[in-house]
Amino acid sequence: MVGNIDYVEGIINVEKHSNKGMLLTLLHEAVHAILFSAGLNNVDDDEHDEQLVQALAHGIFTLIKDNPKLIELIKQG
């Protein structure tokens, strides 16, 4: 899975591959963006813990896929 995020332009780029792979890559980069906007970069290297980012991306994917009603309720606010 290959993707990147342009924090200046606010754009996530995802390399074309399988649909699930692209969605997981998009979520992975979105988690990076969320952590970045929250100021949660590592003190040592200004990066994010890739295992944490990957776990959250997969967790969010599964949460959304397994709970369509939850997503509808969230959309309704």
- Which among 4-12, 19-27, 34-42, 51-59 is the span making contact with Zn ion, rule CB under 5 A? 51-59
- Which among 10-18, 35-43, 52-60, 68-76 is the span making contact with Zn ion, rule CB under 5 A? 52-60
For residue 16 the two structure tokens come to: 């074309």
Give the Cα separation of 39 and 29 in Å (integer): 15
Q: Which DSSP string corresponds to 24-66?
A: HHHHHHHHHHHHHHTT---TTTS---HHHHHHHHHHHHHHHHH
- Which among 16-24, 35-43, 45-53, 58-66 is the span making contact with Zn ion, rule CB under 5 A? 45-53
Considering beta carbons, is residue 1 or 64 the nearer one to Zn ion? Answer: 1
| Structure-token match 């994917």, residue found | 61
Considering beta carbons, is residue 20 or 74 the nearer one to Zn ion? Answer: 20
Residues near Zn ion, by CB under 5 A: 53
